[in-house]
Amino acid sequence: MKKTVIVSDPQIMGGTPVFRGTRVPVQTLLDYLEAGDSLGDFLKGFPTVTEKQAVAVLEEMKEHLLVPAHA
């Protein structure tokens, strides 16, 4: 089973989904990208998140969004 890079734990940021091993909310990455900032800008602002983690989160989200609907 693949280990997710997103963690939601009531003891960390009140259960807000964060990057594993950090206190950086995943929503922050989405906010940066929505505002037109680059992945590099996000990584500079949050050095505890690695590029590999950020890309893995985006891939994980893509997988969830692109699951075919069962009719």
Q: What is the pLDDT of residues 35-52, one digit of tens each?
A: 999 999 999 999 999 999
pLDDT digits (tens, 9 = 90+) for 60-71: 888 888 877 665
Give the C-alpha separation, 2 to 27, whole Å: 22
Domain ranges of the chain: 6-65
Q: Domain 6-65's class?
A: mainly alpha
A 10 A CB-CB count for 52 gives 9
pTM of the model: 0.84
Give the C-alpha separation, 26 to 8, whole Å: 10
